[in-house]
Amino acid sequence: MADGDRDSARRRQRAGKPKQAAGKPKAAAKAVARAKAVLEEQAVTRPARRRAVANAAAAAVGGAFKPWTPREVETAFSRFERANPHPEGELDYRDPFTLLVAVVLSAQATDAGVNKATRGLFEAAPTPSKMVALGEEGVAQYIRTLGLYRGKAKNVVELSRRLIAEHGGKVPADRAALEALPGVGRKTANVVLNIAFHMPTIAVDTHLFRVANRTGLAPGKTPLEVELGLEKVIPDRFKLHAHHWLILHGRYICKALKPDCPRCLISDLCRWPEKTPA
């Protein structure tokens, strides 16, 4: 190749480089943004997926365990009672209405996250009428940090409207009436009935479902099966606080990924074969 041809080729290469480089940073930035979004999504969803896997594993084998005897059940709940005579839920509320709202908002959210969101919400709208006046957009501004916040805001405003129209602005002490409200299922109704109206209901959340199956106390494939199983085996005198004891036990001791068996009050009664060593 002649010198002139070489110089021309070099000039063409140099002239072409800026155009290629100009697109690379944008493409790289988009790739980084996409990767970051994926990582952020995984950071949020992985713990939930892991809990779901742990719960499914417990449910798959829980029914094969030797059933607990009445004496073992009595022993277990006597221990829970001695350790925590008056267990309480961890959601902040002022009355049955704010309790109902807090529980509706707690779906797929932590109690700590709900408490942070409702602090301002309950200052602005502590009653059904004020919640309706605040409106969906107003409620949404307070609960933006919670998952599915727009759907939850819609449910909160609509259930407030229904409470005014159908129950005189009061929260009904009736499961069917509660479950007829937007965003309220059996678990939410049971929580409200238990805490606000002191009824011996058992609300089965993800933690309680895992504990009941993993220990073999009341195995079941669905939350309703577990609830009905627990109602059969738990002595009446323990039922008022039973769901609190079991939920707290699942949240802090019988955790999904690494149960803290050395600290477990009922480790000697638990049927789970793969205990975490001390």
Residue 13 in domain? no
Please report the pLDDT score of residue 18 as a whole number: 42
Residues 35, 70 within the same domain: yes
pLDDT of residue 87: 96
Confidence grade of residue 192 (pLDDT, cut at 50, 70, 90): very high
205 is catalytic: yes
Q: Do 176 and 153 fall into the same domain?
A: yes
Distance CA(26)–CA(243), nearest Å, equals: 53
Closest CA to 129 of 92, 96, 90, 168: 168
Same domain, 100 and 75: no
Our answer to whether residue 26 is catalytic in this structure is no
CA dist., res. 219 & res. 204, Å (int):
12
**Residue 53 vs residue 230, higher pLDDT:** 230
Q: What is the DSSP string of 148-197?
A: THHHHHHHHHHHHHHHHHHHTTS--S-HHHHHTSTT--HHHHHHHHHHHH
Q: Name the residue type at position 270.
A: C
pLDDT at 103 over 60: yes
3, 205, 232, 260: the catalytic one is 205
Cα 206 to chain centroid distance, Å, stands at 7
pLDDT of residue 94: 96
SS (H, E, C) 233-261: HCCHHHHHHHHHHHHHHHHHCCCCCCCCH
Give tens-digit pLDDT for 207-228. Answer: 999 999 999 999 999 999 999 9
* Percentage of the residues of the chain whose pLDDT score is greater than 90: 73
Out of 54-58, 97-101, 224-228, least confident range = 54-58
- Tell me, what's the pLDDT at 62? 66
Share of the chain above pLDDT 70, in %: 79
pLDDT at 64: 78
Q: Which domain holds residue 57?
A: 19-88+200-278
Residue 166 confidence (pLDDT) above 70: yes
Domain count, the chain: 2
CATH number, domain at 187? 1.10.340.30
- Statement to judge: residues 136 and 168 lie in one domain: yes
Q: Considering the candidates 17, 66, 187, 239, report the single residue annotated as catalytic.
A: 187
pLDDT at residue 250, rounded to an integer: 96
pLDDT tens for 129-144 read 999 999 999 999 999 9
Beta strands in 19-169 (DSSP E): none
pLDDT of residue 30 exceeding 60, the answer is no
How is 98-115 classified by DSSP, letter by letter?
A: HHHHHHHHTTTS-HHHHH
Interval 242-251 mean pLDDT: 96
Residue 28 pLDDT: 46
Same domain? For 172 and 159 the reply is: yes
Co-location of 260 and 205 in the same domain = yes
How many Cα atoms sit within 13 Å of 153 on the Cβ side?
Answer: 20
Dihedral pair phi/psi, residue 145, rounded to 5°? -75, -10
Identify the residue with better confidence: 43 or 85: 85
